[in-house]
Chains A and B, each alone.
Chain A
Amino acid sequence: MKTFLKVILYLLGFPLMIGAVVYVSLPILEAGKTYGIWIYGGIGVTALIGLIYLAVGLITWNASRKAKTLAGIRKATAALVICAVLLTTGIWFAIDMALPPILDDATSGTILYEDVRDDYIAKSEVHGLLLTKFIEMNVANGNLTQLSLEQYLAEGYGNEEVKNLIHDNFQSIDQDGYATFKGPWVDLASDDRMTIPTIVHLVINDRYESTEDPLKEDVIFIYKGEGREEAGTVESPIKWTVLDMQEGVLSFDIDALSMMSGLTDEGLTSLLEMILTDEDTAAGIEEMLAPILGAVNDAITDEALAGSVITVDVNIVTDSDVEIDESLKKGTINISIVPANESRGVWDYMNMAWLDSNNLLFTVISLFPARRIMLVFGGLVVILSLIIGAIRESQYKKNLVLPAPQQQAMPYPARATVSKKMAKEYSSPYMKACYRSFNNYDTRGSLHLPKSIDPNDYTK
């Protein structure tokens, strides 16, 4: 019965903990289901720790079974308890100390340990969406053509075509984009210091040509979209702009109606008012502007300007726009500058870097449900280990055969059975003094005294 109880207690410890880790990891498994084995990092670590605990449990079980004294059993219990603490709280204490700087360094400060630690489900969803949106963008622009969108989404990172496209496109935006900017400007822009001089520098400064950069081994022209003659068959060189490095569209609102207050020409004023307030006139002007904006966009691709695709768009906010979005102000001119990321099927630099290492990041994220459960279970496993120890003690006491009276009377066990440990124990000065104080007793064999000294044996 007691053995059965011990088995139950073992199951209540690490096996239950592994089950709990699997349960709380389900959202992460769902978000990163196409990343294969990478998402099972947390469960794997927990299972491994469970196996170690099991091995220690078996070793201590065996040790306590063979133990001749209660102290031996207690030592085995102590080992089991210490092991339980080290494998739960101890491991996470060490990881909490070591991992933050490693993660900070590996992600250039873009992923904070605290964010993942406390918000791992949201983080896994974000990283799952990185892949989903990437596939959607690349199916839409014709980079992925072999399967349907649903099939690509179902296969996800497991699809070789998707996997290769992710890594190739990151190489492109990294080596032919980020790494080509000289000096501090791209780092300033990436850290919310995107000033006009910074943009001007990033646009007009000469950049590293592939052959100029000593860190680059080869020229990478991998993007298969723009300029291709047939989808996926011709690779064409790509130049990335600073806007491709940033997230989203750069948008400005110009309150043109307010700015018109300084105009003195009545004819011009009434014309502009009509353009800015009359829906049909605004639509007509937008139509007239379309070819001009097209020409501006073409000019931007000239080497004298950005040398790459940046789309400028102008929209005059009219009544119908305000009906859709009440925060808009009628008569405002909205200018949008759209980078080429989406049309090329590439995230901005940071998200693309994350996506490139998404498998590893999912492994890191998958550790955190295990963290929470293991820390909570730490105390429980310690208590269970203590109870297992107590059961072992009670089993020992029950099985203990009392020695014969004459054996009890013996002052010490046979010399051959005394362990080195016992010998060391009784060489302490206190104990030696103790032996010396025994009246009428020959202390020459004192090293063989049993641990539990009952002076009654010697003073009669």
Chain B
Amino acid sequence: MAVASRTPPKKRDWSWRSQAFRGLLYQILAVAVIGGAVWFLAHNTVENMRVRGIKSGFDFLFQPAGFDIGEPLFGYDSNNPYWKAFLVGVGNTLRVAIIGIILTTILGTLIGVGRFSRNGLVRGLCYAYVEFFRNIPVLLQLLMWYLLFTELLPDISEAKQVGSVFLSKGGLTYPAPVWVSGHAWMFAGLIAALVAVWFYRRWAHRQFEATGKQPGTFWGSVAVILLLTVGGWFIGGSPTEMRVPVKGEFAVEGGASFTPEFLAVLFGLTLYTAAFVAEVVRSGIASVPRGQSEAAQAIGLSRGQEMQKVLLPQALRVIIPPMTNQYLNLTKNSSLAVAIGYPDVVSISNTALNQTGRAVECIAIIMLVYLTTSLSTSFFMNWYNAKSAIKER
């Protein structure tokens, strides 16, 4: 580059020494090397498959799967094609991920806020929780929860009963309503109520901006939601039929249930990720300047109000990006469910891989599912982040 300092290169100087040329050369080289490597691997794979007569392609997705799944989220039968089995797996992954994200947010926020408690015992416990749970591999935690659930709970034939709820090694079995069309009305009512509440709150917020008075919205919202939901239920013919679990000869029959596998995955993921979420929340709150807290105290806000109205809203802006990462980690870690027999997408994919021998295709499906989830979650969180960022006038 000593040359360059003597005669500064022109912008479009296509000599051997120009930056533009070098840049192009490096790029071509990089693409060629990476492309060559990918081609080399792909060529080998195709060649290996051809020589050994291994079938490939995604056509197997439309053949009947032929295996049962322990806890399908929706109607699935072993005669259904493979793609539907995969869909069940994706559904199970999302089920544990979504519930896990909700629970972990609540727990993590509580613990993160607890690090600022005025009570020394609470502070100490929250600190101990964070240090303990985040320093142990999540797989180990899942295995331990599963062991605890399967060893300590009573046998299936001796299920513990509280009302119509049974707890045993078979899981947590509870009564569930039998789905009839009447329930659709109830859900329609609920959705209508949520829309109404949203508009109501927006109106209330405008009112607040205009007059400075905050109309109470909480009880009004609750009333609207209850009224419309119950109303919908009555319109639908007030269906009351329930699938109540009963103790059979060998096991608890009927009802809906959470299996120990699901509970272990949920517990493990939630408790592990909550430790990280707590740290995110703690550092977010710590990032709010001390003056904010002092100002809040000066105008006489209680500790709770101070947290809720002053610290958390400001901390939120710092919290969201790392929080997104934690949500993604939780979703990705749900793939460990395969180690304890929860039928998530990795588990289903594994079975499919073994039934059909399409290793490349099945692993590609796993990766695609997680990539899609990851990218769409980051997309959503970026949108939310932009929305909650400081609006400068």
Q: Do A and B come from one complex?
A: no
